[in-house]
């Protein structure tokens, strides 16, 4: 874990909102020279604090009007391997997120579809046929908001 | 909005590797750099592409615990959603807020440095949020897949 000062935190906040900022623009906002801003950004990337970039798109504008979160319970734990389930589920193009969780479900999935009929197709043909899949709960996403989190 | 095959090809590569340079993306998508710039500008103007965000690795920042908290709210109060979300925004450890149609009304993504801090946040900040009818927790064990990719 690296030590972060106030400027690092301000930089993280700025980049979390706009990851495409140039070192020059970052420097202007933080009162640093362009090379100093660049060095700090590189240091944050090399320390792994910044994992990478995420491209945010308007999924509806691109024809994917439905996003559904699925809670999946595996049917027969012990008999089916988690690896088999995971290998199959990550290969489904409509599945964007797969998280192994502890609680009411074993996995959380984020699934995108063109519309409800398309979602039903993905659910029946792709999800319900996964190895070991048991109970599935679906919640249709209405709004989502990413917060900056506890930075400084 | 009209999105053609070239737009889709560009977006597929851009979503798969948002950090790639424009020149590299153009080569992968099989278009000239000038075409790529023009198309990306148009997708941005149309609102299909919203922008880049840096992804912060909270584990590297010392936040070892991530919990997905699923709430049903007391909907007899018409302001329940708004007031709950306004209050949740004031909790710094909440890094994501999603609303749903389904059995779950709202989901909060909460991070903490360790279980002791999580317990403190849960008791003092989360359970103090207004209009909660029910809460369920899913503790994140591992993220197997996390992408913005779309089956374009």
A62: nearest CA in chain B? B48
Alpha carbons B70 and B139: distance in angstroms, whole number: 11
Two structure tokens written together for A36: 């100093």
Alpha carbons B60 and B56: distance in angstroms, whole number: 8
Cβ separation A61–B1 shorter than 8 A: yes
Given a cut of 80, whether residue B1 has pLDDT beyond it is: no
Do B74 and B38 lie in one domain? The reply is no
The mean pLDDT value of chain A amounts to 92
* pLDDT at res. A79: 66
Query: What are the chain A neighbours of B71 within 8 Å (beta carbons)?
Result: none
Q: Which residues have C-beta within 8 Å of that of residue B45, sequence separation ≥ 6?
A: none
Decide if B57 is inside a domain. Answer: no
**Report for A3-17, A63-77, A94-108, B47-61: range of highest mean pLDDT:** A94-108
Question: Where residue A1 falls among pLDDT bands split at 50, 70, 90?
Answer: low
Do the Cβ atoms of A77 and A144 come closer than 8 Å? no
Given a cut of 90, whether residue A20 has pLDDT beyond it is: no
Cβ separation A52–B18 shorter than 8 A: yes
Decide if B151 is inside a domain. Answer: no
Do B100 and B37 lie in one domain? The reply is no
Decide if B21 is inside a domain. Answer: yes
Decide if B38 is inside a domain. Answer: yes
Q: Which of B76, B25, B52 is nearest to A50 (CA)?
A: B52
What domains are defined for chain A? 6-46 (1.10.10.10), 66-140 (3.30.70.920)
Q: What is the tens place of the pLDDT at every residue in A22-59?
A: 899 999 999 999 999 999 999 999 999 998 899 999 99
Q: Taking residues B24-36, report their average pLDDT.
A: 95
DSSP category for residue B129: S
Q: Which has more confidence, A79 or B56?
A: B56
Decide if B71 is inside a domain. Answer: yes
* pLDDT at res. B78: 92
* pLDDT at res. A14: 92
Q: How many domains does chain B have?
A: 2
Alpha carbons A117 and A122: distance in angstroms, whole number: 9
Q: How far is A111 from chain B (nearest CA, A)?
A: 10
- Residue range(s) defining the domain that contains residue B108: 65-139
Q: What is the tens place of the pLDDT at every residue in B35-88?
A: 999 999 999 999 999 989 999 999 999 999 999 999 999 989 999 999 999 999
Q: Which burial class, exposed, middle or buried, applies to B14 when counting CB atoms under 10 A from its CB (0-12, 13-18, 19+)?
A: buried
Query: What are the chain B neighbours of A71 within 8 Å (beta carbons)?
Result: 138
Do B130 and B82 lie in one domain? The reply is yes
* pLDDT at res. A81: 84
Query: What are the chain A neighbours of B55 within 8 Å (beta carbons)?
Result: 19, 50-54
Decide if B55 is inside a domain. Answer: no
Two structure tokens written together for A41: 């950004």
Do B82 and B40 lie in one domain? The reply is no
Decide if B18 is inside a domain. Answer: yes
Given a cut of 90, whether residue A66 has pLDDT beyond it is: yes
pTM: 0.90
Q: Which of A41, A57, A151 to probe the B interface (max B CBs under 10 A)?
A: A57
Decide if B150 is inside a domain. Answer: no
CATH number at residue B14: 1.10.10.10
Alpha carbons A149 and B53: distance in angstroms, whole number: 14
């Amino acid at each position: 874990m690296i030590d972060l000062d106030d400027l690092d935190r301000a930089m993280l906040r700025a980049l979390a909102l706009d990851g495409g900022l140039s070192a020059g623009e970052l420097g202007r906002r933080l009162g640093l020279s362009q090379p100093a801003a660049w060095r700090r950004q590189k240091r944050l990337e090399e320390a792994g604090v910044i994992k990478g970039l995420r491209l945010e798109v308007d999924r509806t504008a691109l024809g994917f009007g439905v996003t559904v979160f699925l809670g999946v319970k595996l049917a027969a734990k012990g008999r089916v391997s988690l690896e088999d389930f995971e290998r199959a589920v990550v290969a489904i193009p409509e599945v964007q997120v797969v998280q192994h969780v502890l609680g009411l479900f074993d996995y959380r999935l984020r699934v995108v579809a063109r519309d409800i009929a398309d979602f039903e197709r993905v659910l029946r043909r792709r999800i319900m046929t996964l190895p070991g899949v048991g109970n599935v709960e679906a919640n249709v996403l209405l709004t989502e908001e990413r917060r900056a989190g506890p930075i400084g | 909005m009209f999105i053609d095959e070239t737009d889709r090809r560009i977006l597929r590569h851009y979503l798969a590797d948002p950090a790639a340079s424009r020149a590299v993306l153009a080569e992968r998508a099989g278009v000239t750099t000038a075409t790529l710039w023009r198309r990306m500008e148009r997708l941005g103007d149309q609102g299909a592409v919203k922008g880049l965000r840096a992804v912060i690795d909270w584990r590297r920042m010392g936040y070892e615990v991530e919990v997905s908290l699923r709430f049903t709210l007391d909907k007899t109060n018409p302001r329940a959603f708004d007031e709950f979300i306004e209050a949740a925004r004031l909790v710094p450890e909440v890094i994501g807020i999603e609303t749903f149609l389904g059995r779950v009304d709202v989901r909060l993504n909460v991070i903490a440095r360790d279980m002791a801090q999580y317990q403190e946040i849960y008791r003092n900040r989360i359970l103090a949020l207004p209009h909660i009818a029910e809460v369920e927790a899913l503790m994140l064990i591992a993220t197997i897949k996390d992408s913005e990719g779309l089956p374009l």
